[in-house]
């Protein structure tokens, strides 16, 4: 069975092309390709550096549109699925906004890229329900 590394919001970090924590290291070429892909998808307005695109996981200091890590930390839980209010309005919005990027990803990505992004980001609800 494939191992997942779940973020608080349900993203699968192990599948993410940005995630560089051991044993998921990425080459400079892979990170640059991801930065170019983020521009094509519309996640960024320019190609960012490898340092900026790389990620070792969510921490409260990282920018998050939904402040999910901070919320989980405040509640003493690891993922939103552990919350008695799940799915709250914040997570419902998170799911909706994430899904809104899927058509563009399908349009500009290769099949392999799309499948990776689907597994990493578009299966949040599924990951949190397992």
Cβ-based burial of 63 (10 A; exposed 0-12, middle 13-18, buried ≥19): exposed
Indicate whether this model's pTM tops 0.75.
yes
Return the ∠ at Cα 69 (arms to 64 and 70), rounded to 5°. 95
Q: Report the chain's mean pLDDT, rounded to a whole number.
A: 94
Rg value, the chain, Cα:
15
Model confidence over 55-110: pLDDT tens digits? 999 888 887 888 999 999 999 999 999 999 999 999 999 999 999 999 999 999 99
pLDDT on residue 10: 96
Percent of the chain with pLDDT over 70: 98
């Amino acid at each position: 069975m494939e191992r997942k590394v779940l973020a608080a919001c349900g993203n699968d970090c192990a599948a993410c092309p940005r995630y560089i924590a051991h044993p998921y290291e990425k080459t400079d070429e892979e990170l640059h390709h991801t930065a170019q892909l983020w521009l094509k998808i519309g996640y960024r307005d320019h190609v960012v550096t490898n340092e900026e695109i790389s990620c070792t996981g969510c921490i409260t200091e990282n920018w998050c549109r939904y402040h999910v890590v901070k919320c989980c930390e405040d509640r003493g839980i690891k993922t939103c699925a552990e919350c008695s209010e799940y799915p709250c309005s914040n997570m419902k919005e998170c799911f909706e906004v994430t899904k809104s990027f899927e058509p563009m990803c399908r349009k500009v990505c290769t099949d392999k890229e799309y499948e990776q992004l689907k597994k990493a980001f578009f299966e949040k609800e599924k990951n949190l329900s397992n």
